[in-house]
Structure 1
Amino acid sequence: MSQKSIRFLVYALKGGLFILPVLSLIVADFLFFPFITGKNFFFRIMVEVLFFLWIFGAVFDKNLRPRKSPVLLAFSATLFILFLATIFGENPFRSFWSNYERMEGFVGYLHLFAYFLILTSVLRKKRDFKILFGAMLAVSAIVTFYGFLQYFGKLAIHQGNVRLDATFGNAGYLAIFLVFHLFLTALFFYWFKNRWLRIGLALLFALELVVLFFTATRGAILGFVAGLFLFAVLMAIFSVEKKTRLLFASLLFLVILSVGLFVALKDQSFIKKNPVLGRFSSISFSETTTESRLTIWGMSWQGFQEHPVLGWGQENYNLVFNKYFEPKLYKQEPWFDRAHNVFFDWLISAGALGFLAYMSIFVSVLFMLWRGYKKRVFSLFESAGTTSVLAAYGFHNLFVFDNLTSSFVFFTILGFVHSGWIRKDGEKEEKKEEIMSNKEISGLSYLVVTVCFLVIVFSLYFVNVKPLLAAKNLLNALSLVRGGAPIEDVLKQYDKVFSYSTFGTVEAREQLAGFANAVASNTNIPEKDRGLALKKAIEEMEKQIEKTPNDARYRIFLGSVYTRASLFDKAEATFEEAISLSPRKQQIYFALADVYFAGKNYQKAVEVLETAYNFDKSSLEAGKNLFMAAILSQNEQYVESLKIEIENRFGPEALIDKKFINVYSAVGDYEAVKNLWFVFIEKEPDNAQYRVSLGAAYLNLNEREKAIEQIQKAIEIQPSFKEQGEYFISEIRAGRNP
């Protein structure tokens, strides 16, 4: 192969690498989870195409082959352990493929590893990384502009609150993206001395800082402050110039002063009322978010102890969450698939071996940075800056989890460090090796290229095209549901999703089960159509249970559909199996109680709801559910004692709830119904409907004159009710109940 051809191939590879940063701008509105799937499919397809070109070039040109470095060895070891954890984990299929919401799994790390190999083999010169970082900064400028448009109300914030999320759909994802790019902006400011460029970089830095602030992401912002502190310390200690040491000592003092001032003023009203600063002033061990994170980490530790060597396999945190669920988390999100701490995530995903391998990536890159600094491969600014941004990233990861955009920047920075490491000194490149002639190329080399080509074609279709089409059709199915399309059309659309046989089938089944439950409760839909939806959902969820029998989540979906289909025996058995997998999750007990309610087995309902309530008596909802079952069981002594307990715990108005009216009516306790309506009318004396309802209670108590009195008051409040009200009165006076 000629030198010219190789040069053209290298240009193509570099061009592809320089295009990759635009992944952060991609929002695929036509796909399920548009902020996640679009970015990931773009990245995977690009990497696979580039990987083939790279393999093709590396066969002919040894200069395109990877060079060893500590970080490459650490990443390779991590990938190998992830592979073992995937094979021997609880759910190898999910560990390999992940899902649309995360799109990680082993296949995700395979692509990141392939990207790292291409990056470090193709971009050998510092100027190459300057171009790549420049492209990344250009993208970050667009993202920052998008954030400002959201701030000024020109574009919607996708999370629906004040926290900016730009093209990420998640404020936390945007925040760590900006932390990385603030570092790259500072690095460019250090590298380039052009006055106008520096002015532009300073402006970009300031704007990114503002957008970072309005993401209100505490982990990322505190990580940035910690990184800035570390950077100032390193520069102040190791700088040889007195002027530089003084400058960074001043920066260090400024950081400490700013933090100190905030701590001193955090209880002031102007801080607490600020939607961003208020999130920081509220940080404490008793705060809801902090408390829930600490609880989840405790559950994670228990899960790690069960599988300490290789963990549970990637994407199986939900199994740990179910098994070791703490009932006090009921008020939080019911399903966690991450520990909200990357380090615990690694302990669960790949055990101690995976965690140590992952940490070795950080250790190796820090070793390379500071050994490189001693050998003058990296400047102090580069070594201290990279160390600090990695520290900021690590701090941020104490409270959240990774995503493609942060992983992409992380491994790109590691690639930059690797590139510097393999250079002997400064800008000198390793000795060029000659391109192999056709005679030197063995048949094995051609076989490698051919096999690689076939693997890439296979991967493009099965790893990308099929899941992408499934995601598109799943979103189409949801659109049909929102548009009120005929049931048969919706089910046909779901069948399209299932026909691709991808990891998207799992999420489609969940969505189908939710759809079937909604349809079953809508009496305006013909019974035949409701039956079709329930039948299809049952078929699909039963298939899912066969594939993943150890996941309580799918049993809850199936049990709820069984309940809607009046298959109460199957529903009971399914929920009991779910309880065996998640013995302390109140949601399952509530669902099982619904089965007993439907079968009028109120004593059984009391038993399961009492169990749920005893798990965590701070849950008013659990108490109300138990109280409702107690009323229906008609155990008056138990009802009274439970009422006293709940009111003592939650206050005298804890059981003032309209849902008890129907329950009291069902057992004929109209005195209790009357007393409840008294309370509601006391709060809203001008509510005509309340008056009519109180009149109905009086009528059931055979206090007919009092019933008439309430209807007359309803007419006074709402004159338009006069005709109907007078009819009710005439019927009551005639001795009939209207």
Structure 2
Amino acid sequence: MSNLLIKTITCVTHLLLLTPLVIAPWFVYPFVAPKAIFFWVISEIIFALWICLAILNKKYRFKESVLFYSVVGFVLVSFISSLKGVNLTLSLFSTFERMTGLITLTHAAALFIALSSTFTTIKKWRQFARTAVFVGFLAAIVFFLDDYLGEYLPQSRRGSTLGNSSFFGSYIIFPIFFAFYFFLRDRGLSRIFAFIQGLVIFFALYFSHATGAFYSFWIGIIFVMISYLFFNNIFDLNFFSRMPFRQRVKPSDIPKERVFGLASLVQALALKPSWVVAILVVLITVSLSSFIAYGTLTQNEKILNFLPAKLHQSRIGARLVVWSTSWQAIKERPVLGWGFENFQTAYVANYNPCMPIPEECGGEIWFDKAHNAVVDTLVASGFAGLLAYFSIFGTATFLIWRKGYNVSALMSRKKWLLPAILTALLAAYFIQNLFVFDMPTTYLMFFFVLAMVGGITTKKLGGNYATAIPARTGIDRLIAKGRLPRIQGLSSILADAIFNKSFNLKSLIVCLFTLAVLVSGLYFFGYRSLLSAHLVWESMHTTVPNIENRLKLYTASLKATPLGAIQTRQSFTNNAILWLEQEVNFPGETLKIIEREAEKMAKENPYDLRSNLVLGNFYNAMTKYFILKFKDRDTAQIYLDKARLSLEKAFELSPTNQQVYLSLSQNFIFRKDYKTAEKILQEAIDLEPRYGDSHYNLGDLYVIIKNFDKAAVKFDDALLSGYRVDTVGKASQIAQAYYEIGQYEKAAKWYEYVVVKKPKDPDAHWTLAVIYRELNEFDKAKFQAEIVLKIDKKYAGAVKEFLKTLKKID
């Protein structure tokens, strides 16, 4: 029975390593959510099978080690920090876009325990590593076929099956190091195959935009080279036993007072020339890395221009500002942090107003991750979490290199190779994580490597190997003696319960309970999560015919699981705002249901800025909707007051965020309290004068109150700041301001934009005709007037008189 369970776990583990290839376009975030749920399901199956195996055979129960305590400690600290954090639900479930909540972390830790306890031989782990390499090879091939697989890889962004080049780079460093290991270790066809796989993976990594992963890979390779130089004589550390010249000197011949002196060091290096090369490589690597790091982190243009093109692409934009902002958040909660997955709450509380400025702060406004694993951990779990996080790397490295490492006894040659590769892999993973963040696929591979380290270092610290009972127990012995036919599946477990003394009724109950928990986990974490992800996708899909059907799908997805509920509600509420602006009809109780779910979104996430801001914007849109569509100012006033409360709450959460100021100003414009709205918008400009949106909104306010001189000045400021005019309405406001103050050339430019976007708008063509007349461009004026006549015959009289004036002027 034990053998059957081991074989089953082996097969399922190989299946688990296919996670990076999982894509499902019919789910929301098809590159992320399906992978994470697949990872959950397979991990649960492996863990349940391991529990049954551990009950049957004590040999496979988990072994105590410093790495085990480090992993468990990190998970516990993450849970405690989340309990003390600002949003426990988000900490547990995360969002469909990330899927990196405590549920994913717990599944990864369970996978570590199960695999490290089940597989303790390097031979078995090599089989898994070969599968990992092959999967990475397939992902690399898909990377090169991105342009031909657009139908199956929607919005891949040069990320192969990972969907993003950064995520692709974070994952691919694992199989590339394993391929490098097999290339150095194997012989014959296996070596050639490893070389081909590694080469394809390497070029995929090179041509991706994952700069951090690419250069962290090279740092790892340099570490392997240094290890070769140090340990090519299989840890022969007797410096003085080999002389590069005829005279041989014994260590005893060197005076004791010179053992730690410079002369002894020089003589030792002379006796071991490979050490000299290794030290030089280390010095060059450290110097070059420091040079690159300084240029990248300080964004020094001279250094960046001097570096190769690959490094020149590694400008980290907004991340430097985000890291600086994060430090303020860390100081507010230094011990246990803000809770897992709550980075955005900490970030907006210390928001830097320069974030929308591309030249200085990158131009990105919303960040739910710091793009730095160390900073993310500090914000999420404080220094307690960071210490636990570092301890995982420290204990894993210690176990890899500690004296008595039992892999040495299992490898016939190159005893240094596997420890060097694993250390280089962990180092490369850590370094590249300084510029990106973990996703479910990287969690899988990281904990897979940790399980490998834990599995092949089964020797207890300060003691003997874990005591194991024979693999054959109870039913296995009876089958071997021919007294009982071979039985498979659940019947074998029941038979073991009868014939195996070590497997009693209590053990059977535990196995059945594990089976029940597994079924529940597969249903709630597997089926219902997949159902919710599909329903969310379908509710936002363009093929859904009407709002009522979309709403049914939307509410059904929320009932399926709390997973991603906050993001789902935000997205659907934003869609509802667009529908309100278009003044569409909402059948039955549709609008009330949308409003109820939007209010629930803010109530369940009181410290989430985006939830409160979206709710405030929704109420603002409802105000405008009831005024314009139904002329119902009483109902509009109710929503106006609700919007103000929500937006004031958002202001408390992020008092330096311009998005809040812009929404709050709209609320006062609807109230016709223009002085307060002007004051709020001016405060937004004072926060960051280079932000064009603030200038445009103030200019828009001046158009409303007919102060066109000030409006034109603000529109000029907005356009000089790089403000992007992306709607006809905005272009019309700018054009009107310039027209009213007689700046006809500027007005003509924007009205030309309007008539291109709205060719059937007679008013726009008419105004443009008048402007051309003022600019003495009579042919253009006549042409626009004739277009007006074609669009609407009601303008016939006015066009006739207009054409007469043109002839008189001409």
Q: What residue is the counterpart of 1:625 in the other structure?
A: 697
Distance between the aligned counterparts of 2:201 and 2:434, measured in 1?
22
Structure 1 position 626, deviation (Å)? 2.3
Q: Deviations over 1:276-307 (max 9, x none)?
A: 96452255xxx5x33x1111111111111111
Partners of 2:658 and 2:342 in 1: CA distance: 21
Whether contact under 8 Å (1:232, 1:249) holds in the other structure is no
Contact 2:735–2:746 (CA<8 Å) still a contact in 1? no
State the distance in 2 between where 1:470 and 1:535 align. Answer: 22
Alignment of 1:488-499 (within 5 A): 488-499=548-559
| 2:400–2:453 contact (8 Å) kept in structure 1 | yes
| 1:383 alignment partner in structure 2 | 419
**Where does the alignment leave 5 or more consecutive residues of structure 2 unmatched?**
235-271, 297-302, 358-362, 475-498, 624-638, 806-810
Shift in alpha-carbon separation, 1:160–1:473, aligned structure 2, 3 A: closer
Number of the residue aligned with 1:88: 84
CA contact (8 A) 1:664 1:670 kept: no
Does the alignment pair 1:361 with 2:361?
A: no
The answer as to whether partners of 2:339 and 2:379 remain within 8 angstroms in 1 is yes
> Secondary structure of the residue that 1:439 maps to in structure 2?
coil
2:440 partner letter: L
Q: 1:547 aligns with which of 604, 621, 624?
A: 604
**Distance across 2 between alignment mates of 1:687 and 1:88:** 52
Q: Which amino acid aligns with 1:168?
A: L
Distance 1:473 1:675, change over 3 A: same
Residue 634 of structure 2 is aligned to residue 563 of structure 1: no
SS where residue 160 of structure 2 aligns? coil
Among 136, 143, 147, which residue is 2:139 paired with? 143
SS at match of 2:402: helix
Question: How far apart are the structure 2 equivalents of 1:394 and 1:623?
Answer: 43
The Cα of 1:361 is off from its aligned counterpart by: 0.4
Q: 2:253: which partner in 1?
A: none
Deviation at 1:728, TM superposition (A): 4.3
The AA in structure 1 aligned to 2:581 is S
Q: Could you tell me whether the CA contact under 8 Å between 1:584 and 1:615 is conserved in 2?
A: yes
User: Could you tell me which amino acid in structure 2 is paired with residue 605 of structure 1?
Assistant: A
Map 1:132-171 to 2 at 5 A: 132-150=128-146, 153=148, 155=150, 164-171=158-165
Structural RMSD (CA): 4.2
What is aligned with 2:744?
A: 674
Instruction: Describe the shift of the 1:466–1:245 C-alpha distance in structure 2 as closer, same or farther (beyond 3 A).
Output: same
Q: Distance in 2 between matches of 1:656 and 1:160?
A: 22
> What amino acid does structure 1 have at the position aligned with 2:54?
A
Q: Which letter maps to 1:590?
A: L
SS in 1 for 2:676: helix
* 1:608 CA displacement: 1.2
1:107 to 103, 109, 112: 103
SS in 1 for 2:334: coil
- Select which of 298, 308, 311 maps to 2:334: 308
- Which whole-Å CA distance do the structure 2 matches of 1:399 and 1:558 have between them? 33
Deviation at residue 176 of structure 1 after TM alignment: 2.0
Indicate the SS of the match to 1:565. Answer: helix
Change (3 A) 1:200 1:247: farther
Q: Does the Cα contact within 8 Å between 1:517 and 1:534 map onto a contact in 2?
A: no
Aligned to 1:608: 680
Higher mean displacement: 650-659 or 355-364: 650-659
Q: 1:35 aligns with which of 31, 34, 37?
A: 31
Q: 94-103 or 717-726: which moved more?
A: 717-726
| Structure 2 counterpart of 1:215, one-letter code | S
- How far did 1:86 drift? 2.1
Conserved 8 A contact 1:664-1:673: no
Distance of 1:384 and 1:486 partners within structure 2? 59
1:433-472 per-position Cα deviation (integer Å, ceiling 9, x unaligned): 1447633445543343333233222222222221211111
8 Å Cα contact 1:715-1:721 kept in structure 2: no
Alignment correspondent of 1:509: 569
Residues 552 and 582 of structure 1 are in contact (CA less than 8 Å); yes or no, is this contact kept in structure 2?
Answer: yes
Name the structure 2 match of 1:201: 194
Classify 1:678/1:198 alpha carbon distance in 2 versus 1 (closer, same or farther; 3 Å): same
Superposition deviation, residue 730 in structure 1: 0.8
CA contact (8 A) 2:81 2:338 kept: yes
Q: Distance in 2 between matches of 1:154 and 1:493?
A: 29
Deviation at 1:95, TM superposition (A): 0.9
The corresponding residue for 2:650 is: 578
Structure 2 partner of 1:477? 539
1:356 Cα deviation from its structure 2 partner: 0.3
TM-fit CA distance, 1:240: 2.2
User: Separation in 2 of the partners of 1:652 and 1:9?
Assistant: 63
| Structure 2 contact 229–278 (Cα < 8 Å) conserved | yes
Q: Helix, strand or coil: the match of 1:313?
A: coil
Aligned counterparts of 1:685 and 1:733: Cα–Cα separation in 2: 20
- Provide the C-alpha distance between the structure 2 equivalents of 1:139 and 1:656, rounded to a whole number of angstroms: 43
Report Cα offsets for 1:184-222 as digits up to 9, x if no partner. 0011123322x2221221122211111001112111112
Aligned to 2:231: 238
Query: Partner of 2:767 in structure 1?
Result: 696
Equivalent position SS for 1:422:
coil
Among candidates 465, 468, 471, match of residue 527 of structure 2: 465
Structure number, greater radius of gyration: 2
CA distance in structure 2 between the aligned counterparts of 1:175 and 1:732, rounded to whole angstroms: 65
Q: How does 1:222-301 map to 2 (within 5 A)?
A: 222-240=215-233, 278=309, 280-283=311-314, 287=315, 289-290=316-317, 292-301=318-327
Query: CA offsets per residue over residues 471-506 of structure 1, 9 Å max, x none?
Result: 111111112xx1261222111222221332422332
Partner of 2:634: none
Q: CA contact under 8 A between 1:159 and 1:170: conserved in structure 2? A: no
TM-score by length of 1: 0.85
Alpha-carbon shift at residue 602 of structure 1 (Å): 2.3
Q: Deviation at 1:623? A: 2.1
Contact 1:312 1:350 in 2 (8 A): yes
Q: Is the 8 A contact 1:176 1:406 kept in 2?
A: yes
- Identity among equivalent positions (%) equals 23
2:252 aligned residue: none
State the distance in 1 between where 2:712 and 2:589 align: 44
